[in-house]
Structure 1
Amino acid sequence: MTMATRMGWIRHGITEWNRLGKIQGVTDIPLSEEGAEQARKLAERLSAEGGHWDGIYCSDLKRARRTAEILAERLDIPLVTDARLRERSFGKAEGMTPEERLAEWGVDWRANVPDQESDEVIRARGHDFVDEFSRRHPGQSWLIVTHGSFLARMLQSLCDDLTDSHLHNMSLTILERQAEDLKNNWKPHLHNCTLHLAAPSVKR
């Protein structure tokens, strides 16, 4: 019996810029200590659940890589970085607070930043990654640590059943594809779950 292929998509832990409402994009902001604690909580959850994960792919930006390192160490699985998993480039908007963005481009600022990476480009590099992943890891289960805007575009593109909801820092979304599904349809097993964040702090 052929096993399903699974992708456990994770938004990285929180950063200081997340707390301030600043747009990060490809600006390489480090994970905060709070974000590292969030990652430890998810690592403990995954370990306690006992499910099998073959490895982790992650964006090469610091906040995602550090999140993935904490998970990989606790779960004792290999870690691979891939620049295709980077956040959307937000151009001039990077580093700007909500008030600054509102003053510059108005309420619909996301549609008005002139030099940001387009949805089409994001989906192209994201699907390039997913297609290669599917060829290399049939029947396997991998975690994928990436970023909010990139992840939202990918989940909407891969799975019609998911709503366009805000993806929380350190949330877990699991998509599954059956081997006999020749149309490459991914189905949600879990979406935007942060139950682990309510757990007690993890002792180091």
Structure 2
Amino acid sequence: MVRNSVSEIANQVSDQVLLYLYNVFADIDSDDESIRGEELNEMLEGVPERFFRLACELLLEDDLIEISDASWLSITKDGIELVETWSDERYEAANKNLMIAPASDRIVSLSHNSQPYADALGALEEVYEGIRSKNDLDISGGEKETCLVAVKTIQTVMSQETVTESIFQEFIVPKLRWIAEKCADKTIDALIGAAITAVLALSTL
């Protein structure tokens, strides 16, 4: 009975992980199509680490994700194809738990030649450089690198011509706030606040 319950929860978490990777990376044409497992586990609020690890093991066994030696997760072609064959019920269940807006979410065009887009990218670059150049952050070298990679991931997402509105609210903004929490620095907080304002301005165009 307990084993069945654990298996059921692990399968639910597996769908959350797979849907997250699909929503963020499936349409991105870039070499930077992965996220650190520890970071994703933290972003899936309320998911115990043991269930997250078990879910990743299940997905790996089925060749739906790939995990590097440094624990970076990426979705495979088989993973993308599986999500695209999910029933509406399965998608909605995973989507509800993940708190990502449905597929019918509004599409936002990113005009790469516009000033708001330039402002958003500039603000993100200031966050990156602010973290990179600051040597007195109260975090380890590995955590600092994770924050830098997180900013680069956001920049990669922003390089697309279109994104869904939910990407702003459920991925970019939470990730920036997560970076701010990790760095716990007033200067970085101010840079991230400016970046959030600039990024959200794009979602209203």
The reply to whether TM is greater than 0.5 is no
Q: TM-score, length-normalised on structure 2?
A: 0.28
Structure showing the higher helix proportion among its residues: 2
Structure showing the higher strand proportion among its residues: 1
Q: Higher relative contact order by CA 8 Å / sep ≥ 6: 1 or 2?
A: 1
